[in-house]
């Protein structure tokens, strides 16, 4: 099993400027808003669409190379494709849908095994219209695997099912992927789904792959303010670089009259305008009963303007008081911590921004 | 009852169906999916026999097939007999005036096959030919059957074009519809009534079959 690489570019009809690679056994998620070109990229890999310029290859096999005129048909590309609406063959049974895609002679045996693998044993004779959304998705997945594909492409495979079914299908795919050795490219607009299922995420907008990284790195170290906004990150603010202190390992920035210490980021010259971001979980509340050592770090005070329970956390927006203009910082803290400190609307609190969690980015264009 | 006319009508209808339906599939399928310049004109041309009066269509076909015409003279040179007022001429006319009845249902049926289903077939490794036989054609089958039924029934009953191109030659061009007219002219109301009742029954069965098939197809796809 080998690595999938794709590099696609065109201006029309849908602008594309996408670069991606996906190793064997790896799940790469393409994430972005509607119209970001995610599905188009997938269709170009499958050979269903033909970009103006580009190259798609699997290891040393070339599927598409516009410079040398190579453009293999979908039938020649050994892809398994799960379509958004599943696109099952309505005239065939579940078994028939899978068996027709098996290239070898004992198609029915292989198809039965595949249906069992996706937990559909006993439903072989059902037609697509007699299956639930989740069952259809499983048939589509079994059919995609029936060809023994070298690459698995999943186009919004969970968008047509309800929340409960979706969670179950997520678990099934996580279990199934342990046994998959081919590159898997997953298109989704759901960031949580991508973070759950993928090893790496490629963030796309207007046909362009802006950043490809692990979910954790992406959430804490977005390459630009544009990526941070697409990820719907909280606490994105503009600042200016004051100085780099390599000995202390910090870069000092000026944010609306306040001086903050961030992790050393010498890539940004002194005086440059930057955007910075901090995960809400790295905004720490000062304990009222027992002040602690960490409170010297980027210490600020403010008033809670909104305070909402969200799962096991409380999401609080704090309006800072400072040198004139006010700003809002969002903080996520565990419910028990919020209760112990009587956190509620209009509470005056002190907080610290963990310096090494402050990430500097080139500003939004 | 003019059994010879019945047999001739059935033969004409069977030949028309046998020749026209493969053509309708070959033309209706690309009309459903492809976009090309002048497509609107092609669609309009195929629909034309629906709106042109049968005698007008028959007149032009008579001119086109007759002596001195390119088609007529070519046919005469190759086969050794004229095209007009023969069964073969009638069949050619029948193929033309049945075009919309054969092509349109087939085209609608292929249009109803989702593009993603065809793409899924390609991505499942099925060749274009296998995709057509195993997926597209079975899904378009209700439309193909509609086309068969409509073409057959329409051929059985067509009068104007048949009279203009074929005339009224027993055993060669006298179809049921012509025979009915012929019997009425001869004040043989009993024979005309029997044949008219047969065509009426046939038409009723044909329409019933089309509705039943389209209903069944709709249920099969949700």
Contact assignment for B139 to A146 by CB distance below 8 Å: no
> CA A144, CA A231: separation in Å to the nearest integer?
30
Options 2.60.120.200, 1.25.40.10, 1.10.468.10, 1.10.3720.10; CATH of B3-29+52-216: 1.10.3720.10
Task: Give A291-349 pLDDT, tens digit per residue.
Answer: 665 567 899 888 999 999 988 999 999 998 765 566 899 999 999 988 888 888 888 88
Where b means 16+ CB within 10 Å and e means fewer, B179-198 reads: bbebbeeeeeeebbeebbeb
Q: How far is CA B168 from CA A79, A101, B161, B177, B197, in A?
A: 62, 56, 12, 10, 21
* Partners of A263 in beta bridges: A250
Q: Note every long-range contact of A196-200, with CB atoms under 8 Å and residues 24 or more positions apart, other chains counting.
A: A196/A170, A197/A27, A197/A29, A197/A170, A197/A173, A198/A27, A198/A28, A198/A29, A199/A26, A199/A27, A199/A28, A200/A22, A200/A26, A200/A27, A200/A28, A200/A29
Pick the CATH number of A4-224 from 3.40.47.10, 3.40.50.300, 3.40.50.2300, 3.20.20.450: 3.40.50.300
Cβ A147–B116 below 8 Å, yes or no?
no
Residue from the list B116, B126, B221 with its beta carbon closest to the beta carbon of A129: B221
CB contact under 8 A, A87 and B221: no
Interface test with A, best of B121, B122, B123, B127 (most A CBs within 10 A): B123
∠ CA B197-B18-B82, rounded to 5°: 90
The SS3 assignment for A83 reads: coil
Could you tell me the end-to-end alpha-carbon distance of chain B, in angstroms, rounded to an integer?
Answer: 46
Determine contact, residues A60/A54, Cβ cutoff 8 Å. no
Is the Cβ of A312 closer than 8 Å to some Cβ of chain B? Answer: no
Determine, for residues A91 and B220 on separate chains, whether the beta-carbon distance falls below 8 Å: yes
Question: Using the beta-carbon criterion (under 8 Å), do A129 and B117 form an inter-chain contact?
Answer: no
Q: Do B126 and A73 touch (CB under 8 A)?
A: no
What pLDDT does A207 receive?
Answer: 93
Nearest to A89 among B117, B122, B222 (CB): B117
Tokens of B150: 């409509």
Q: Which CATH class is domain A280-355?
A: mainly beta
Q: What is the pLDDT of residue B216?
A: 77
CB contact under 8 A, B126 and A101: yes
Q: Touching check for A85 and chain B: CB below 8 Å?
A: yes
| 3-class secondary-structure state, position A79 | strand
Closest alpha carbon to B214 in B121, B147, B133: B147
Per CB-CB distance under 8 Å, the chain A contacts of B121 are: 89
Contact B220 A144 (CB under 8 A): no
- Selecting from A87, A91, A129 the residue whose C-beta is nearest the C-beta of B119 gives A87
Q: Which chain A residue shows the shortest CA-CA distance from B219?
A: A129
Give me the residue spans of the domains in chain A.
Answer: 4-224, 230-277, 280-355
Residue A361: strand, helix, or coil: strand
- pLDDT at A324 (0 to 100): 56
pLDDT < 50 positions in chain B: 222
Contact A129 B220 (CB under 8 A): yes
pLDDT tens-digit profile of A102-120? Answer: 998 899 999 999 999 999 9
* Alpha-carbon gap: B85 to the closest alpha carbon of chain A (Å): 46
Residue segments in chain A with a per-residue pLDDT below the cut of 70: 1, 289-295, 322-326, 365
User: Are the C-beta atoms of residues A201 and A194 closer than 8 Å to each other?
Assistant: yes
How far away is chain B from the Cα of A92, in angstroms, using its nearest Cα?
9
The DSSP bridge partners found for residue A31 are: A188, A203
Find chain A residues with C-beta within 8 A of B123's C-beta. 46, 48, 74, 79-81, 144
Residue A106 Cα, gap to closest chain B Cα (Å) = 16
Q: Does the distance separating the beta carbons of A127 and B139 come in below 8 Å?
A: no
Beta bridge partners of A277: A236, A359
Contact check, Cβ <8 Å, B123/A100: no
Which residue in the set B123, B126, B220 is minimally distant from A90, CB to CB?
A: B220
Q: Give the residue from A78, A84, A89, A153 with the most B CB atoms within 10 Å of its CB, the best one to mutate.
A: A89
Q: What is the dihedral of CA A25, A27, A28, A29, to 10 degrees?
A: 170
Partner-chain contact A80 B120, CB within 8 Å: no
B interface residues, A as partner, C-beta within 8 Å: 114, 116-117, 119-127, 134-135, 138-139, 220-222
Q: Which two tokens stand for residue B119?
A: 């793409």
Q: Give the torsion through C-alpha atoms of A183, A184, A185, A190, to 10 deg.
A: -150
Q: Which residues pair with A318 in a beta bridge?
A: A304, A329
What's the full length of chain B, in residues?
Answer: 222
3-state SS, residue A64: strand
Contact B220 A101 (CB under 8 A): no
Q: Determine the Cα–Cα distance for residues B187 and B197; give it in Å rounded to an integer.
A: 17
Q: How much is the pLDDT for A347?
A: 87
Average model confidence (pLDDT) across chain B = 91
Distance from C-alpha of A98 to C-alpha of A142, rounded to nearest angstrom:
6
Q: Angle A67-A77-A115 (CA atoms, 0-180°, nearest 5)?
A: 160
pLDDT given for residue B203 in this prediction: 85
Residue A175: Cβ-neighbour burial (10 angstroms; 0-12, 13-18, 19+):
exposed
């Amino acid at each position: 099993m080998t690595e999938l690489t794709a590099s696609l570019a065109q201006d029309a009809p849908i602008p594309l400027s996408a670069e991606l690679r996906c190793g064997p056994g790896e799940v790469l998620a393409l994430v972005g808003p509607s119209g970001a070109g995610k599905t188009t990229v997938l269709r170009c890999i499958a050979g269903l669409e033909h970009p103006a310029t580009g190259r798609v290859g699997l290891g040393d096999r070339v599927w598409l190379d516009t410079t040398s005129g190579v453009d293999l048909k979908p039938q020649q590309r050994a892809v398994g494709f799960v379509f958004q609406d599943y696109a099952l063959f309505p005239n065939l049974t579940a078994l028939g849908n899978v068996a027709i895609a098996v290239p070898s002679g004992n198609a029915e045996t292989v198809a039965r095994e595949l249906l069992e693998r996706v937990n559909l044993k006993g439903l072989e004779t059902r037609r697509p219209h007699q299956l639930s959304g989740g069952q259809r998705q499983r048939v589509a997945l079994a059919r995609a695997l029936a060809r023994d594909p070298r690459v698995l492409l999943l186009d919004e495979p969970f968008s047509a099912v309800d929340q409960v079914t979706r969670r179950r299908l997520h678990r099934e795919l996580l279990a199934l992927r342990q046994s998959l050795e081919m590159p898997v490219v997953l298109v989704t607009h759901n960031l949580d789904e991508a973070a759950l299922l993928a090893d790496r995420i490629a963030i796309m907008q207007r046909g362009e792959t802006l950043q490809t990284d692990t979910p954790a790195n992406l959430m804490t170290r977005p390459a630009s303010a544009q990526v941070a906004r697409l990820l719907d990150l909280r606490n994105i603010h503009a600042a200016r670089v004051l100085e780099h202190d390599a000995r202390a390992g910090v870069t000092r920035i000026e944010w609306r009259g306040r001086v903050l210490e961030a992790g050393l980021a010498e890539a940004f010259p002194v005086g440059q305008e930057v955007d910075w971001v901090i995960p809400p979980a790295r905004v720490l509340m000062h304990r009222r009963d027992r002040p602690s050592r960490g409170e010297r770090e980027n210490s600020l005070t403010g008033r809670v303007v909104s305070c909402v329970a969200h799962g096991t956390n409380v999401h609080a927006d704090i309006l800072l008081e400072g040198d004139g203009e006010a700003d809002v910082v969002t903080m996520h803290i565990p419910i028990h911590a919020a209760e112990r400190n009587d956190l509620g609307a209009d509470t005056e609190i002190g907080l610290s921004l963990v310096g090494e969690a402050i990430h500097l980015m080139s500003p939004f264009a | 009852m003019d059994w010879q006319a019945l047999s001739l009508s059935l033969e004409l209808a069977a030949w028309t169906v046998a020749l026209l339906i493969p053509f309708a599939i070959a033309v209706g399928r690309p009309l459903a999916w492809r976009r090309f310049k002048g497509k609107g004109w092609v669609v309009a041309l195929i629909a034309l026999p629906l709106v042109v009066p049968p005698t007008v269509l028959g007149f032009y076909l008579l001119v086109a097939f007759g002596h001195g015409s390119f088609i007529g003279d070519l046919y005469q040179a190759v086969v050794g007999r004229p095209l007009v007022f023969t069964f073969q001429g009638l069949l050619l006319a029948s193929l033309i005036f049945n075009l919309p009845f054969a092509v349109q249902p087939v085209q609608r049926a292929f249009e109803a096959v989702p593009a993603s289903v065809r793409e899924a077939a390609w991505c499942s490794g099925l060749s274009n030919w296998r995709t057509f036989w195993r997926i597209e054609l079975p899904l378009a089958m209700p439309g193909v059957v509609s086309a068969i039924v409509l073409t057959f029934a329409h051929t059985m009953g067509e009068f104007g074009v048949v009279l203009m191109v074929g005339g009224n030659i027993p055993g060669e061009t006298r179809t049921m519809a012509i025979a009915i007219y012929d019997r009425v002219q001869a004040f043989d109301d009993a024979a005309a009534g029997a044949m008219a009742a047969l065509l009426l029954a046939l038409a009723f069965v044909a329409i019933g079959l089309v509705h039943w098939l389209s209903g069944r197809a709709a249920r099969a796809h949700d």
